[in-house]
Structures are given as C-alpha cells and as structure tokens.
C-alpha cells in the first residue's frame, strides 16, 4: 500500500511564492492498495491535480472518503475530471449530517446547484454512487478495509483507518484534542469528562499501532489558546497522540494557510528540538505536495 499527498493546506488554498515548497492546495490524499484499488481521502483543491494525473489511466474507478463537509475538504470535488468521463465510476463515502438530516449525497448536490457551479450532475458522464457510512462499520474496497471513528470537530468529522495486508494508515481529517467545556465546580464537568474520555479511548483504539498517522497540525502550542474550539490540533498534541498509540510515523498536515514554507519549517524545527529525543521507533515528517510513502 502507498499514499501520496496532493494537498496539505488547511482552511483556504494559499498558492504563491511563499508556499511553493510545501504546496498551497487544500487537503487531498491518494491511497493505492496492493491490488491497485484507488482510495481518495478528502477532496480539497489538491484533487484537481490528482485528477489530471489519473487521466493517464482511464477509465477511473475511485472511492472518495470525505472526512467532513467544510469547504477546504470538498471544494475541489466538482473539478474531479473523471466525473465527466464515460466509463469512470466514482463512489463518494461520508457521514450522515444530523443537522440537515442528509447523507453524503447532499454534499455534491449542494455544490452543483446552479448558483455555485455551472454543470449539473445530470451532465456528468461517470457513474456516481453514494454511500453514507454507519459510524464504526468497516467498508471493503478491493483488498483494503476502511474503518471510521468520530473525531473532535464542530461538525461530524470521520477519521479513517485504512488497512491492507498487514499495513495501515490513519487520517484524522480535522481534529482538536478533547477538552472539558465546563469548569471543575460545574455539575456538568464530571459526566462530560467521562464522555470525552470514552471518545478519546475510541479514537486511540482506531489509531493503535498504525504504520502512518496523518494528523491535523494547524497550530503551535502558543497559538492554540486563542483558537480553542475551532476544531484543529497542534504539533505537540499530534506528537503526543502518535507516541500514545504506538504509531511508527507521524505526518503533520493541514498547514496554517498564512504560514510560509520558511515559517512552517521554523515552527516544526522548534517543536522537534524541544521534544527531542523522539519516542523510540517514531519518525515525524512535515507533509508536502508530492510526498509519496510506500508502506510495503
């Protein structure tokens, strides 16, 4: 199994000379299982470059797994070229939205409204299928199995574990470390603490022992207090998570869009120096567009 990053920025695309080394596209990760099955994690603007790459091997059969429906994780979807190519098959997977009462088909349906996009789904030539996922239920795609768990974000965000022939990766999508909303003297503090402790155990179990852990690292530890509740993590929290679950490699992604490549490398280097030595057996990397990892 192998995976490749096509978009690593968070919140909004940030192209330009300040982001040329790591890339300015938003989240998209291509995963190829051992039997060649194509799994795509999120459909940020990075999915457009992936689509152009896929045109060399038509027809395309793709399974796209959406972590959640915030714009930076879906706004490249209508530009996924195989949607317009006869003979291609695209299956979109994602969570039920308890706010709207809709399944994953609602995401593309809203994007393709005439107010937002000039081409309707009826004009797309690919076979398009939808699968609204049940929480915790595994899905088989070729020789890979994809499991999900609910992360901590203002909307339902599914973290995905992909396993194939003894190798595994986990992608958080957007995730903020769990914290108690209530002060210690509030009667709601203790029951809420029990709830988030249980959710934390479920997330850790889903990540346990993965070969590659891909995590939202939007902020530094000093930036985070002003951003609490926004649904994003820190470099330090990601490293703590990787050590706790026994991951073999941590890939930091969802880079803050205002951070230049130089600034990104600087805050990463500061964290790595401060946290040295790393836990035995753990490697840590900054994700960049084009980074391809073979898990064997």
pLDDT digits (tens, 9 = 90+) for 28-80: 999 999 999 999 999 999 999 999 999 998 999 999 999 999 999 999 999 99
Where are the domains positioned within the chain?
2-294
User: Taking residues 219-242, what's their average pLDDT?
Assistant: 97
In which band, very low, low, confident or very high, does the pLDDT at 114 lie, cut at 50, 70 and 90? confident
Lowest mean pLDDT among 113-127, 150-164, 276-290: 113-127
Helix (H, G, I), strand (E, B) or coil at 278: coil
The chain-wide mean pLDDT, for the chain, equals: 96
Q: Which two tokens stand for residue 12?
A: 């909004």
- Of the chain, the percentage scoring pLDDT greater than 70 comes to 100
Task: Answer whether residue 143 shows pLDDT above 80.
Answer: yes
Res 177 pLDDT > 80 = yes
Q: Cα angle at 41 between 4 and 86, to 5 degrees? A: 95
DSSP letters, 35-76, are T--EEEE--STHHHHHHHHHGGGPSPEEEEE-S--SGGGTTT
Under CATH, what is the fold of the domain 2-294? Answer: Metallo-beta-lactamase; Chain A (3.60.15)
Q: How much is the pTM?
A: 0.96
pLDDT recorded at residue 40: 98
Closest CA to 267 of 231, 226, 218: 218
Tokens of 218: 């939007």
Dist. CA 222–CA 281, nearest whole Å: 27
Q: Which residues pair with 62 in a beta bridge?
A: 38, 90
Please say whether the beta carbons of 183 and 19 come within 8 A: no
């Amino acid at each position: 199994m192998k995976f490749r990053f096509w978009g690593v920025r968070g919140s909004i695309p940030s192209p330009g000379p300040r982001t040329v080394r790591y890339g300015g596209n938003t989240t998209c990760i291509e995963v190829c299982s051992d039997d060649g099955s194509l799994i795509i994690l999120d459909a940020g603007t990075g999915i457009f470059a992936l689509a152009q790459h896929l045109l060399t091997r038509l027809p395309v059969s793709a399974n796209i797994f959406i972590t959640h429906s915030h714009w930076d994780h879906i706004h490249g979807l209508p530009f996924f070229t195989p949607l317009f190519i006869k003979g291609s098959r695209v299956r979109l997977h994602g969570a039920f939205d308890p706010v709207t009462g809709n399944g994953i088909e609602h995401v593309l349906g809203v994007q393709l409204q005439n107010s937002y996009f000039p081409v309707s789904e009826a004009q797309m030539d690919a076979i398009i299928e939808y699968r609204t996922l049940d929480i915790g239920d595994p899905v088989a795609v070729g020789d890979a199995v994809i499991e999900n768990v609910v992360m901590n974000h203002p909307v339902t965000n599914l973290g995905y574990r992909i396993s194939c022939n003894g190798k595994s990766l986990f992608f958080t999508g957007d995730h903020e470390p769990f914290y108690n909303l209530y002060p210690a003297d509030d009667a709601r503090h203790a029951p809420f603490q029990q709830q988030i402790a249980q959710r934390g155990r479920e997330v850790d179990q889903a990540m346990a022992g993965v070969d590659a852990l891909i995590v939202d690292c939007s902020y530094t530890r000093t930036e985070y207090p002003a951003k609490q509740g926004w649904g994003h993590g820190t470099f330090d929290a990601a490293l703590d998570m990787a050590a706790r679950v026994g991951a073999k490699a941590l890939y930091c992604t969802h880079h803050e869009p205002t951070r230049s490549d130089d600034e990104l490398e600087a805050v990463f280097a500061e964290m790595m120096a401060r946290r040295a030595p790393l836990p035995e057996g753990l490697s840590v990397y900054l994700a960049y567009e084009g980074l391809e990892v073979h898990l064997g």
